Amino acid sequence: MIKTIKGLIASGRGNPKRLREIIETAKNGDPIVMSDYRYIQNLLESPNSTDVEQPQVTPQPKRDTSLELLRVRLAEGQISIEEFRVLKAALTEEE
């Protein structure tokens, strides 16, 4: 379940804050409430849906992989949001 949620975060689908909270709940061994479970299921069933409308950016393949890796590292708590923003800016300024 945690791996699935991390995949959603990495793909930019859903609300990252809510998804990270669900991950923390699962890591603590607490049961996931039905509304969160349904939320995840809805995200998985409708692959094009997001909570917040975001402009579609088509990054180059190498950068896209790098950004996905950064999102996963952020979701896992390996980097802070500030570090994420700095690294993302560094990756996208090369254009």
Enter the pTM of the model. 0.49
| pLDDT exceeds 60 at position 60 | no
| pLDDT exceeds 90 at position 19 | yes
Please report the pLDDT score of residue 17 as a whole number: 92
Distance from C-alpha of 66 to C-alpha of 91, rounded to nearest angstrom: 8
At residue 10's C-alpha, the angle toward residues 91 and 18, to 5°, is 120
Q: What is the average per-residue pLDDT within 39-52? A: 71
Instruction: Using alpha carbons, select from 4, 2, 3, 10 the residue that is nearest to residue 42.
Output: 4
